[in-house]
Amino acid sequence: MITKKQRDDAVKRSLKYLENINIVLTCIEKEKIEIADFGLGRLDEIGLEIITYINTQRVCAKELILFPNQLCPEHKHPDKDGKKGKEETFRCRWGKVYLYIPGEPAKNPSGRPPADRLEHFTVWHEIILKPGDQYTLCPNTFHWFQAGPQGAVVSEFSTTSIDEADIFSDPMVKRIPEVSD
């Protein structure tokens, strides 16, 4: 859980990142920035800032903002109600992102999950995304990602997003944010 002040500060930081790379948002989009700390209360370390442009029954488009070295914990997008899980393409717009998927583990991975949560990171095949690079993930694929030392902005293009259905490797993770006074 995060406080309203932490949320407001994270929104301001996110807007500055987007402004610096000339991504323009409407007033409504600015008001709807989601600050996800995944229920762990460690936003600068484990968290994600999200702007959802569109999420229909067929497509979804988002902007993902990651602060320096911030990571999104390992998860997958499962099938639900007879529909395939989310297929998503990440396109790096700014910064550097270390994306991890199943496959041959990296010998010296750049990503560094916190030591006390390390057991919940099981996939270590590393894909490094720099501005202009993109990668498409198939449904039901465990993955996690972490920003480089400058932070990152990533555009996500996907099929329908049902965030509350995501399955996380860490049982302590809560996908839907909670904000306290």
Q: Where are the domains of the chain?
A: 2-180
Predicted pLDDT at 147? 98
Residue 67's contacts (CB-CB under 8 Å, 6 or more residues apart) are: 10, 13, 44, 47, 49, 147, 151
- Angle of CA points 45, 47, 52, to nearest 5°: 155
Counted residue by residue, the chain has a size of 181
CA distances to 10, 19, 47, 114, 136 from 34, in Å: 9, 17, 10, 23, 23
| 72 vs 146: CA distance, rounded Å | 6
| 167 vs 77: CA distance, rounded Å | 6
Predicted pLDDT at 163? 85
Q: Please state which CATH class domain 2-180 belongs to.
A: mainly beta
Predicted pLDDT at 82? 87
* Lookup result for tokens 């393409």: 89
Tens place of pLDDT per residue across the chain (181 aa): 889 999 999 999 999 999 999 999 999 999 999 999 999 999 999 999 999 999 999 999 999 999 999 999 999 999 988 889 999 999 999 999 999 999 999 999 999 999 999 999 999 999 999 999 999 999 999 999 999 999 999 999 999 998 889 999 999 998 877 777 7
